[in-house]
Amino acid sequence: MKAKRVISASSSRFASQLFNVITVVVMLVSLTALLLGKLMAGHKIGFLPFVLSLPPVMLWLGASIFVYASIAHHPNTLAAHYNKWAGYRFYGVMGSLVVIGPALYGLMGGWQGLMLVLGLAVAIIVPWALFDIYKAAREPWQDMTIEVAINE
């Protein structure tokens, strides 16, 4: 037996923006934690900015896989499209920083190197993600009706 379900336009819009919104929040929290850690740290605890700034990014890196997978097969292809490009952008930058990050960190060392690496990630991801959030909000979203199988 099949039942009809309605996916609202606002739900599709939210799904298209979710990955980008969380990514922007996490990147800005991480950058803020780095700067606050630097202000709080003395010379004897120079690792504090590092300890404060990386957990949000690492937690989101793990959690983002579940968010990405949950939206990847959304019935609205436009929502899946925005999610796909948000994932490409985030995972591409994070993967690139694994490769080039140590070299950038080695240029300056210490918290300045970490600031350079994290600042580069924020400079690439955040403006592009904000533009995608804006673009998704301007799309003409419509309610969708889908059929789902019901087990008796």
Q: pLDDT tens-digit profile of 37-67?
A: 777 766 666 667 777 788 899 999 999 999 9
Calculate mean pLDDT across residues 62-73.
96
Q: pLDDT tens-digit profile of 3-15?
A: 999 999 999 999 9
Calculate mean pLDDT across residues 77-95.
96
Rounded Cα–Cα distance for residues 102 and 2 (Å)? 54
Specify the number of domains making up the chain: 1
Rounded Cα–Cα distance for residues 42 and 14 (Å)? 42
Q: What is the pLDDT of residue 104?
A: 81
CA distances from 91 to 54, 57, 97 (A): 16, 11, 10
Q: What is the pLDDT of residue 44?
A: 61
Phi/psi class of residue 110: alpha, beta or left (left: φ > 0; alpha: ψ in -120 to 50)? left
Domain housing 85: 2-149
Query: Structure pTM?
Result: 0.89
Dmax (CA) of the chain: 68
Is 35 or 135 the better-scoring residue by pLDDT? 135
- Name 147's bridge partners: 4
Helix axes 110-138, 48-72, angle to 10 degrees: 30
In 73-142, which residue ranges form alpha helices assigned H by DSSP? Answer: 77-108, 110-138
